[in-house]
Structure 1
Amino acid sequence: MINLNARQQNILKRLRQNEDIQIDIMADYFQVTTQTIRRDVNQLCKAGYARRVHGGVGLPVQLTNSSYQLRSDLQFDVKDKIAKKVANSIPDGATIMMGIGTTVTRIAYYLKTKNRVITNNLQVVKILESNPEIEVYIAGGLFRAQQQDVVGNSVLTFFNSFEADIGILGCAAITSSHTAMEHETAEAELSQSILKNSRQTWLVADASKWTSSASVKIASLSKFDQIYTNQTDLPEDFPLISIK
């Protein structure tokens, strides 16, 4: 995998909004030469993050969520700030359900207190294996390599056997009517199970979620007890924890 520079991350963000972009338009936007943009595009295409189209670049053809590494690279700094804020808000001894998503995964790096973690997120498990103070319960089910998680009815049954103090989940997109969305039914059902089996539910969502699209509903933002985001211009009655 390549390490994306700031311009390459911005190119991918614009592709998610526009699907296809011409090389000369991007060169004007970034105030660089077309040769510089072509080098960025060639690297993105080689890594599988994009594909060449006539005169420009587009997102790779896919039906499901983008790969774990790509999602992890996008908006990294913001996700890291959100993760630190969330981890610092978790009390010692709490039982936490942690769902899928790269922002949720980053939270695991900053957990310092004695907690019990219940998850289907394999990257969370990998990170926490070196922390002897945290008890980790992992769901069994269908392993998805690209998403680095486990899904299926067995995971729903697993979550239903616990009651967490805090449930933490991300989402693929948020609509203009303030509904958290996922790409696939299996993903949305897992998030809904965390909502159902947690006394408090926290949503982590960077501002790019408001410019993304997905087709399966999780829940209205009003269903969450706390929303950690750097998004602005949201209704004042939402329980927002602003990240700057």
Structure 2
Amino acid sequence: MELNQRQQQILLRLKQAEGIQIDELAAYFDVTTQTIRRDVNQLCEQGLARRIHGGVSLPALLTNTTYQFRADVESSIKDKLAKDIAHSIPDGSTVMMGIGTTVTHIAHYLLHKKPLRIITNNLQVARILEANQYAEVYMTGGLFRRKHQDIVGNSVLTFFSSFEADIGIVGCGSITQSHSAMEHETQEAEISRCILDNSRQNWLVVDASKWSRFASVKVRKLKEFDRIYTNKTGLPAELPAHVIQD
């Protein structure tokens, strides 16, 4: 089910608070509590939220959230980040592209770039770039994760290790206070590290919301990336940040 605009805004507000009362949401959107409850019930049915006493919060998950949830959250800033990254990729590049919805946004802006070689385990990236007749797309085999729209497993690591790319582009699940990029699951972190290890330039795309989230598996310190595309301000000057305005 596609989320309506108010439901998307509810999810954005839930990222900033552990829980929000139904009455508070009704007042914020200037609608009845019954209307908010219908929105919340639909979000809960899709696993995007959970009911708490008198209100709603994000689901308590140890694994990464669904592809659809991530696609609906912060979509406008992801699009701006993606456009800037795509314009920075030289024609003729070999690019490894990892998992995540922001990485998928980048693919849309590569449709007219030529020539291009893309190596990916991101199913949506491959589907989008099918329309670019000048792009060679190499797709890994392995276990297809339907809800994440990607492919994982040891075969993915072997596949990426057989190439050397000009640029490796990855996202992440969160950023720690000590400025490390983190992922939710070991296999996700291993794949990101493999992409980075087999690319001459390492780029990270990460929107500001990732600083308020928690993931437990380390990918790499931010200072080890060649470029960090983000809308997060106030980062240390020594970090190679390319800050996009909201």
TM-score calculated relative to the size of structure 2:
0.93
**Partner of 1:67 in structure 2?**
66
| Partner deviation per Cα, 1:33-60 (whole Å, 9 max, x = no partner) | 4344323313322433223233111333
Runs of 5+ unmatched residues, structure 1: none
Secondary structure at 1:213's aligned position in 2? coil
Give the secondary structure class of the aligned counterpart of 1:116.
strand
Shift in Å at residue 162 of structure 1? Answer: 0.5
State the distance in 2 between where 1:161 and 1:144 align. Answer: 23
Q: Where does residue 157 of structure 1 map in the other structure?
A: 158
Whole-Å Cα distance in 1 between the matches of residues 192 and 4 of structure 2? 29
Distance 2:177 2:29 in 1: 28
Per the alignment, residue 172 of structure 2 pairs with: 171
- Deviation track 1:177-219 (CA, whole Å, cap 9, x = no partner) reads 1110000000000000011000001100011011111010000
Q: Residue 79 of structure 2 corresponds to which residue in structure 1?
A: 80
- Which secondary structure state, in structure 2, belongs to the residue aligned with residue 180 of structure 1? strand
Amino acid at match of 1:240: A
- Which one-letter code corresponds to 2:82 in the other structure? A
State the identity %: 65
Partner of 1:2: 2
Tell me how far apart the structure 1 counterparts of residues 233 and 26 of structure 2 sit (CA, whole Å): 29
Structure 2 match to 1:13: 12
Match of 1:23 in 2: 22
Q: Aligned equivalents of 2:27 and 2:37: distance in 1?
A: 13
Question: What one-letter code is carried by the residue in structure 2 that aligns with 1:105?
Answer: T
Distance 1:76 1:29 in 2: 21
Whole-angstrom CA distance in 2 between matches of 1:125 and 1:105: 9
Conserved in 2, the CA contact under 8 Å of 1:8 and 1:40? Answer: yes
1:160-239 to structure 2, matched below 5 A, reads 160-239=161-240
How far is 1:28 from its partner?
Answer: 4.6
Deviation at 1:63, TM superposition (A): 3.5
Aligned to 1:54: 53
CA distance in 2, matches of 1:132, 1:24: 52
Question: Partner letter of residue 20 of structure 2?
Answer: I
Specify the SS of the correspondent of 2:178: coil
| Gap runs ≥5 in structure 2 | none
Say if 1:4 and 1:73, in contact at 8 Å, map to a contact too: no
Q: Quote the residue 2:33 is aligned against.
A: 34
| SS of residue matched to 1:214 | coil
Paired residues for 1:52-131 under 5 Å? 52-111=51-110, 112-113=112-113, 114-131=115-132
TM-score w.r.t. length of structure 1: 0.93
Q: Following the alignment from structure 1 to structure 2, what is the Cα–Cα distance between the partners of residues 241 and 30? A: 34
1:44 aligned partner: 43
- The alignment of Structure 1 onto Structure 2 pairs a total of residues equal to 243
